[in-house]
């Protein structure tokens, strides 16, 4: 759910880059709440909602679109234009850390027009939300392929010239180079195409029969949203075959997305299976570049998933099969010529299995096979936490024997995030994990031969590493709770060069947040972060101030982290207007291990609210300036569900704001809902018990309900049914709709209006 996982951060991917920078940054100079007011000579500017959405200052936007050249010598990135001007493509030299222009702004603009030219907000938001790449390096590192809003261009770096490869009125998407660099492949009108890169060559159509209900190699809404799939076709290493997923959407019910702004409203029918509905029917297919297309036989039950697949080596493919209940995951090896497959690894869980992408979501792979040797890396939380497992198999008999576990590479009460890189010559794997602090993330390395885990990034906080394929260099994006983000280009041997540092809010009066810990009823440690207003806030009443809880609360998500996003710019606005802001990660959320995650399994809302109330009670005792009679609650997506649930299952909250909420789990999609709630027919009692719609007669406090009318993730139907229930129960509420907006309610005008509306709601209902 955006994936309903870490909604607020993900929503912000659709906002202007100025906002992205803002919401990441809190300067190290943030002052404590007890600091006296600054003198006029050193007065800082106040935080305002308008400032959040103002045009970014020169140099305040971080480099984006980071990609390493395949030879590992250059890190390319999109260089923001000065004062909103055209972007260029630049690069950092891995050896020196110095930057230079790769493609100047005027040439880049001609090849890849701005996404602002996309025809509607839904297209813009989805492109940003799913991280769709707009350029990629050729395998030989001598050219770049650009997706210019559906037309593909090849830019030769030696000649500094671009050549348009496609000219169809139908847009092309998901382009890829073949491994040998002789072809490009792409999707068009639900079919797969291949084009030789020779100047006069013509494209070849690999599949036929694609329609809006039959997708050949194309990713549908469900797989992209809930299984983190970014591509559904892959070249064989010898560039002879393409393995792809065919998805039959015809059994999937349709939901109408209505454009209310037209004189005669227009409807877009979205294929969207709700909990218990039929899923897409999927088949794994192989298309030979010079030959026939045939199906790969895999044992699939109705509604099963093929969420990951790819190639081991030429002639040998692999695929994962995940059952509909998502508690059994099987790995199959496949003889590409015969189509024969065999299960070589089976994993199961009494509850559910979270999918992992060892090399990161944009690598489109669920396993990391070693290029030399018959081994692969596998992530699992089978021992209670997500760790790395090394498996081996006999190359000549890959389809005759099971994969064998060689060793578990790391262990402990912490979670591995992604495998950042694999240095095969030294048999070293680099990975991110929260080994030293559940709220942080750092880069580590460990030998495939076994041994101790070694720390690579020494600073406490949150590190995100983008490593070159040869693992010799990486870009480290770092921040901590009171330290602003910075980017450095580092050699794994040790030397680093600073690429960029944030200075976006140095002139603003920034308040310093603080970490606070609490205990759940069963003694589980709960991490929180608190931002207090300055002394003498206008909202003080009898020496006390109102407090607003702002959880995400849902599975897989984590809000309380040792990074600069833990408290964002709107939190600063609220604090400067006299509100304390408290965020707590309750049980049921992610990055704390299996037991922590499963606390809410099959009864979403109950444990989460209990933990939020426990944390609130402890905070009121620990911070006596907080006013127990003026408590607010707000959240987005799963946080929106949490708000509705809290205000219908507790009388503690005087005001709340629920943005784009699920209000009844029958109304959300099959994959997410069934993973965490089970099938409706098997758990109907909890579906009814956790329904905010059913609880509407018990609504307490003043609720502001917010929704975008074109939300294709959490449908406006959720709010409509909740509204109907509140009307029938005679419960007062406030409503704010955003025409044509999707789940992120993107755009500076809409976001400015929305956050003013939220601020006004709390000032009317919680202030003096």
**End-of-domain residue from the set 190, 205, 220:** 205
Pair 125, 15 in one domain: no
| Dihedral-angle region of residue 617 (phi above 0 means left; psi in -120 to 50 means alpha; beta otherwise) | alpha
pLDDT at 414: 98
Share of the chain above pLDDT 90, in %: 80
Domain containing residue 701: CATH number? 3.40.50.1820
φ, ψ for residue 364 (rounded to 5)?
A: 60, 25
Per-residue confidence (pLDDT) for residue 359, from 0 to 100: 54
pLDDT band of residue 398 (cuts 50, 70, 90) is: confident
The whole-number pLDDT of residue 270 equals 97
Phi-psi map region of 605: left, alpha, beta (phi>0 left; psi -120 to 50 alpha): left
* pLDDT above 80 for 540: yes
Query: What six digits make up the tokens of 396?
Result: 């000549």
For residues 14 and 117, membership in a common domain is answered with: no
Residue 617 domain flag: yes
pTM for this entry: 0.92
Does residue 334 sit within a domain? no
Are residues 67 and 15 located together in one domain of the fold?
Answer: no
Task: Determine contact, residues 514/508, Cβ cutoff 8 Å.
Answer: no
Task: Give the structural domain span for 749.
Answer: 7-21+509-765
Contact in structure between 18 and 749 (CB atoms under 8 Å): no
Distance, CA of 267 to CA of 255 (rounded, Å): 9
Give the mean model confidence (pLDDT) for residues 303-325.
96
Sign of CA dihedral 513, 515, 519, 525: positive
- Number of residues written out for the chain: 768
pLDDT of residue 294 exceeding 70, the answer is: yes
Beta strands in 468-617 (DSSP E): 473-480, 483-491, 496-501, 514-519, 525-531, 545-549, 580-584
583 plus 663 within the same structural domain: yes
Which of 181, 205, 229 finishes a domain?
205
pLDDT bucket at 356, cuts 50 / 70 / 90: confident
Mean pLDDT throughout 379-383?
Answer: 96
Domain contains 648: yes
- Read off the pLDDT of residues 24-45 as tens digits, 9 standing for 90 and up: 334 333 444 443 444 444 678 9
> Which CATH number does the domain housing residue 169 bear?
2.120.10.30
Q: Among candidates 351, 310, 357, which has minimal Cα distance to 328?
A: 351
| Tokens 């040797």, residue located | 373
Structural domain contains residue 687: yes
Report the domain count for the chain: 2
Q: Looking at residue 97, what is its pLDDT?
A: 83
Please state, in angstroms and rounded to a whole number, the distance separating the CA atoms of residues 566 and 571: 9
Residue 688 lies in a domain: yes
Of 17-21, 73-77, 335-339, 695-699, the range with the lowest mean pLDDT is 17-21
* Tens-digit pLDDT profile for residues 46-97: 999 999 988 776 667 888 899 999 999 999 999 887 766 788 899 999 988 8
Q: Crossing angle for the helix pair 569-576 and 17-24, nearest 10 degrees?
A: 70
Same structural domain for residues 108 and 189?
Answer: yes
598-654 tens-digit pLDDT: 999 999 999 999 999 999 999 999 999 999 999 999 999 999 999 999 999 999 999
16 versus 110: which is more confidently predicted?
Answer: 110
Q: Which residue, 179, 205, 231, sits at the end of a domain?
A: 205
Quick check: 204 and 195 in contact, CB under 8 A?
A: yes
pLDDT value of residue 134: 82
How high does pLDDT run on average in the chain?
90
Residue 158 lies in a domain: yes
Helices assigned H by DSSP within 654-747:
670-677, 684-689, 717-729
The token pair at 623 is 């911070």
Section 157-182 average pLDDT: 95
What's the pLDDT at 54? Answer: 84
Q: Cβ–Cβ contacts within 10 Å for residue 48, how many? A: 16
> What are the tokens at 223?
């797989």
The answer on 728 and 619 residing in a single domain is yes
Residue with tokens 């508690």: 327
pLDDT of residue 42: 61
Alpha carbon distance 308, 619 (integer Å): 44
Q: Express each pLDDT in 214-261 by its tens digit.
A: 999 999 999 999 999 999 999 999 999 999 999 999 999 999 999 999
Asked if residue 394 belongs to a domain, the reply is: no
Confidence band, pLDDT 50/70/90 cuts, at residue 407:
very high
Query: What is d(CA 407, CA 169) in angstroms, rounded to the nearest whole number?
Result: 53
pLDDT tens per residue, range 448-495: 999 999 999 989 999 999 999 999 999 999 999 999 999 999 999 888
**In terms of domains, do 145 and 17 share one?**
no
**DSSP per residue, 723-749:** HHHHHHHT---EEEEETT--TT--SHH
User: If you average pLDDT over residues 568-577, what whole number do you get?
Assistant: 97
The helix (run of H) or strand (run of E) holding residue 266 is: strand 266-271
Model confidence at 499: pLDDT above 60 = yes
Asked whether the predicted pLDDT for residue 121 surpasses 70, the reply is no
Residues 524 and 624 in one domain: yes
Residues 601 and 694 in one domain: yes
- DSSP for 11-37 reads HGGGS-HHHHHHHH---TTPBPTTSPP
In a domain, 661, yes or no: yes
Q: Are residues 756 and 607 in the same domain?
A: yes
- What is the layout of strands, in order, in the sheet containing 387-392? 368-369, 375-380, 387-392, 404-408
3-state secondary structure 224-238: HHHCCCCCCEEECCC
- Token readout for 515 is 């970490």
With a pLDDT cut of 70, the percent of the chain lying above it is: 90
Based on the fold, state whether residues 537 and 642 are members of the same structural domain.
yes
Q: Based on the domain organization, do 628 and 746 belong to the same domain?
A: yes
CA distance 473 to 75: 9
């Amino acid at each position: 759910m955006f994936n309903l996982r870490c909604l607020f951060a993900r929503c912000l991917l659709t906002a202007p880059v100025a906002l992205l920078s803002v919401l990441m940054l809190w300067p190290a100079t943030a002052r404590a709440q007890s600091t006296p007011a600054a003198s006029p000579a050193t007065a800082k500017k106040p935080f305002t909602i308008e400032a959040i959405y103002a045009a970014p200052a020169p140099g305040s936007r971080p480099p984006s679109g980071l990609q390493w050249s395949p030879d590992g010598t250059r890190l390319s990135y999109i260089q923001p234009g000065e004062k909103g001007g055209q972007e260029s493509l630049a690069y950092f030299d891995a050896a020196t850390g110095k930057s230079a222009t790769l493609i100047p702004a005027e040439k880049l603009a001609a090849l890849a027009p701005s996404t602002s030219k996309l025809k509607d907000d839904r297209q813009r938001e989805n492109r940003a939300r799913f991280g769709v790449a707009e350029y990629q390096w050729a395998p030989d590192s001598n050219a770049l392929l650009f997706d210019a809003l559906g037309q593909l261009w090849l830019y030769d770096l030696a000649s500094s010239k671009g050549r348009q490869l496609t000219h169809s009125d139908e847009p092309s998407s998901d382009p890829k180079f073949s491994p040998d660099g002789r072809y490009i492949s792409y999707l068009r009108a639900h079919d797969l195409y291949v084009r030789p890169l020779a100047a006069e060559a013509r494209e070849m159509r690999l599949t036929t029969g694609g329609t809006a209900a039959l997708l050949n190699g194309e990713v549908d809404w469900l797989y992209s949203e809930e299984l983190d799939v970014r591509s559904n076709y892959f070249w064989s290493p010898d560039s002879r075959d393409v393995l792809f997923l065919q998805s039959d959407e015809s059994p999937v019910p349709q939901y109408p997305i209505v454009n209310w702004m037209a004189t005669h409203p227009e409807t877009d029918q979205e294929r969207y299976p709700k909990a218990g509905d039929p899923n897409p029917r999927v088949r794994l297919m192989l298309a030979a570049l010079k030959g026939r297309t045939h199906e790969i036989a895999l044992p699939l039950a109705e509604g099963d998933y093929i969420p990951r697949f790819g190639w081991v080596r030429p002639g040998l493919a692999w695929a994962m099969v995940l059952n509909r209940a998502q508690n059994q995951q099987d790995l199959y090896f496949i003889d590409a010529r015969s189509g024969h497959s065999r299960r070589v690894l089976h994993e199961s869980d009494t509850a559910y299995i979270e999918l992992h992408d060892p090399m990161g979501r944009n690598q489109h792979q669920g396993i990391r096979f070693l290029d030399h040797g018959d081994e692969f890396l596998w992530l699992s939380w089978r021992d209670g936490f997500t760790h790395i497992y090394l498996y081996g198999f006999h190359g000549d008999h890959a389809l005759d024997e099971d994969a064998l576990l060689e060793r578990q590479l790391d262990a402990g009460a912490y979670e591995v995030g992604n495998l950042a890189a694999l240095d095969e010559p030294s048999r070293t794997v680099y990975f991110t994990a929260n080994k030293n602090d559940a709220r942080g993330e750092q880069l580590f390395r460990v030998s495939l031969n076994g041994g101790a885990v070694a720390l690579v990034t020494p600073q406490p906080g949150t590190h995100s590493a983008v490593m070159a394929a040869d693992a010799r260099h990486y870009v480290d994006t770092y921040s901590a709770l009171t330290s602003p983000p910075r980017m450095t280009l580092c050699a794994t041997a040790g030397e680093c060069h600073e690429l960029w540092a944030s200075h976006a809010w140095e002139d603003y009066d920034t308040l310093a947040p603080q970490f606070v810990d609490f205990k759940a009823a069963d003694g589980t440690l709960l991490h929180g972060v608190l931002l207090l207003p300055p002394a003498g806030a206008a909202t003080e009443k009898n020496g006390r101030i109102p407090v607003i809880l702002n959880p995400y609360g849902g599975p897989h998500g984590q809000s309380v982290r040792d990074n600069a996003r833990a408290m964002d710019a709107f939190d600063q606005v609220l604090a400067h207007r006299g509100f304390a802001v408290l965020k707590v990660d309750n049980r049921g959320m992610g990055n704390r291990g299996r037991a922590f995650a499963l606390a809410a399994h099959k009864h979403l809302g109950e444990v989460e609210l209990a933990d939020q109330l426990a944390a609130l009670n402890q905070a009121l005792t620990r911070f006596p300036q907080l006013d127990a009679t003026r408590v607010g609650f707000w959240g987005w997506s799963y946080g929106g569900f949490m708000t509705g649930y809290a205000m219908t299952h507790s009388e503690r909250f005087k005001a709340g704001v629920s943005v784009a909420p699920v209000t009844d789990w029958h109304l959300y999609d099959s994959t997410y809902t069934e993973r965490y709630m089970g099938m409706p027919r098997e758990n109907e009692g909890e579906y009814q018990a956790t329904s905010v719609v059913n609880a509407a007669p018990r609504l307490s406090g003043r609720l502001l309900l917010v929704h975008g009318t074109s939300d294709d993730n959490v449908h406006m139907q959720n709010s409509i049914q909740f509204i109907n229930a509140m009307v029938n129960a005679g419960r007062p509420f406030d409503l704010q709709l955003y025409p044509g907006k999707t789940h992120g309610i993107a755009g500076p005008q809409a976001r400015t209006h929305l956050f003013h509306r939220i601020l006004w709601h709390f000032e009317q209902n919680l202030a003096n």
